[in-house]
């Protein structure tokens, strides 16, 4: 067993770390205060190949492995969750799915510009009244000739006002919809310019304020049949597949957030004095710092294992859900303790820890709540949920010619 990162991994880590410090950190506090997404960051991400980091070179990607994607997520979220969310949505929820489920036409038309960062992709599953309960979605996709007519509204969509196209889910079989049979759901690529698509941003969020989150409404949107991803009725499985990849990026990003909390607290506790000594010497502060160290190490091991499983072509639904649950929970704890270590200063945005605290909360909700991940673990352990062989898989790394 080899726990060492390769030279390529170390180089991805270094480059993304430098990128985040140079491109994302400047002006971040103001963007967060003003709830402002900076499109320029996307342009710079595209220029530095991050948006196609683990996509095959054949499709314009950088050809790195899935662990490189995790490392990039860690480094981006070390600076800001909003930046990591871009990778979660564009690569995790969308591009990896087109790579695995898309046909040749879809890979050429959509995946290739996505991998090059020329087009930005998002994902629309959740609706105003359906999040965890995927079969509760109301969006419909009725086949008419060589088109599907989509009607519905998607909510809490990252990059809603930014993305060029969305992978959306809706019912193609209304009888199955009424029976809550998930084999009636299908997946489609919907382009922003399609008539009947409107989007908007959500304001007043607790966190991810330098990111864009919103809604996508579809009214009688005509989607060409060639934009159906997979077969009719495979939408639920595709959504689960998307979420598995998205959860992986959230887990890795959360490890980065914990490390950011730890580093901020180490610096602060060496300089801030109380009772005539640096607070680093007080045992209750040490306890919080020890918890952050443990949280980071555990979270990293969990997401690395899930990344390694992807590289070798193993299904990692169970391991990814565990990594997501634990890393997000540890990030919430680390962020809350960071504010505590910083005392009153942690309560203001003079220090980044209050932003970490607000951002950490979201990750225990989006891409599958903490409760969903826990239920999955219990059901695996109890034998209610079986580790199924995957029929549609992420291509193992290194990518072969058949990808």
Q: How many CB atoms lie within 10 A of CB 307?
A: 26
The residues, any chain, with a CB within 8 Å of residue 205's CB and separated by 6 or more, are 35, 213, 362
Q: Token pair 């939408």 is at which residue? A: 235
Residue 348 gets which letter from DSSP?
A: S
Site string for ligand CAA, 112-151 (x = CB under 6 A): -------------xx----xx-x-----------------
SS3 7: helix
Tokens of 259: 């490390």
158 touching ligand CAA, by CB under 6 A: yes
Site string for ligand CAA, 353-372 (x = CB under 6 A): -------------xxx---x
Q: How many CB atoms lie within 10 A of CB 226?
A: 12
199 touching ligand CAA, by CB under 6 A: no
Cβ-based nearer residue to ligand CAA, 32 or 367: 367
Helix axes 283-311, 235-271, angle to 10 degrees: 150
Residue 347 phi, psi dihedral angles, 5° rounding: -85, -5
Total number of residues shown for the chain: 403
106 touching ligand CAA, by CB under 6 A: no
Site string for ligand CAA, 55-94 (x = CB under 6 A): ----------------------------------------
Cβ-based nearer residue to ligand CAA, 60 or 92: 92
Cβ-based nearer residue to ligand CAA, 195 or 386: 386
Q: Is 34 tagged catalytic? A: no
* Residue selected from 333, 361, 374, 390 as contacting ligand CAA according to rule CB under 6 A: 390
- What is the DSSP pairing of strand 165-171 with strand 121-124? parallel
* Residue selected from 38, 80, 127, 244 as contacting ligand CAA according to rule CB under 6 A: 244
Cβ-based nearer residue to ligand CAA, 262 or 326: 326
Asked if residues 127 and 250 have their Cβ atoms less than 8 Å apart, the reply is no
Residues that bind ligand CAA (CB under 6 A): 125-126, 131-132, 134, 156, 158, 236-237, 240-241, 243-244, 317, 366-368, 372, 376, 388, 390
């Amino acid at each position: 067993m080899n726990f060492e990162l390769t030279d390529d991994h170390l180089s991805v880590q270094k480059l993304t770390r430098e990128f985040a410090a140079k491109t994302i950190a400047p002006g971040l506090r103001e963007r967060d205060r003003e709830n402002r997404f900076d499109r320029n960051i996307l342009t710079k991400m595209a220029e530095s190949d991050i948006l196609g980091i683990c996509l095959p070179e054949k499709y314009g990607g950088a050809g790195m492995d899935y662990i490189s994607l995790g490392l990039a997520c860690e480094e981006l979220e070390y600076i800001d969750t909003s930046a990591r969310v871009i990778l979660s949505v564009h690569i995790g929820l969308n591009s990896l799915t087109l790579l695995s489920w898309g046909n040749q036409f879809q890979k050429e038309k959509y995946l290739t510009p996505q991998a090059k960062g020329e087009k930005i992709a998002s994902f629309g599953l959740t609706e105003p009244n359906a999040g965890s309960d995927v079969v509760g979605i109301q969006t419909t996709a009725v086949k008419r000739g060589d088109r599907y007519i989509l009607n519905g509204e998607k909510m809490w969509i990252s990059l809603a006002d930014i993305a060029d196209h969305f992978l959306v889910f809706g019912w193609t079989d209304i009888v199955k919809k009424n029976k809550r049979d998930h084999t009636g759901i299908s997946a489609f690529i919907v382009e922003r310019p399609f008539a009947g698509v409107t989007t908007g941003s959500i304001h007043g969020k607790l966190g991810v304020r330098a990111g864009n989150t919103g809604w996508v409404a579809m009214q009688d949107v005509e989607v060409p049949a060639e934009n159906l991803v997979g077969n009719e009725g495979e939408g639920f499985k595709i959504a689960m597949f998307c979420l598995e990849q998205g959860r992986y990026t959230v887990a890795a990003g959360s490890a980065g957030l914990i490390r950011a909390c730890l580093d901020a607290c180490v610096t602060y506790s060496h300089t801030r004095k109380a009772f005539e000594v640096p607070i680093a010497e007080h045992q209750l502060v040490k306890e919080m710092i020890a918890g952050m160290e443990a949280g980071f190490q555990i979270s990293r091991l969990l997401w690395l294992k899930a990344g390694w499983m992807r590289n070798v072509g193993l299904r990692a639904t169970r391991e990814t859900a565990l990594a997501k649950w634990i890393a997000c929970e540890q990030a919430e704890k680390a962020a809350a303790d960071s504010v505590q270590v910083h005392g009153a200063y942690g309560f203001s945005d003079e220090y980044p820890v209050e932003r970490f605290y607000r951002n950490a909360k979201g990750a225990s909700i989006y891409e599958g709540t903490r409760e969903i991940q826990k239920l999955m673990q219990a059901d695996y352990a109890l034998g209610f949920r079986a580790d199924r062989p995957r029929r549609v898989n992420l291509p193992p790394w290194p990518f072969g010619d058949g990808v």
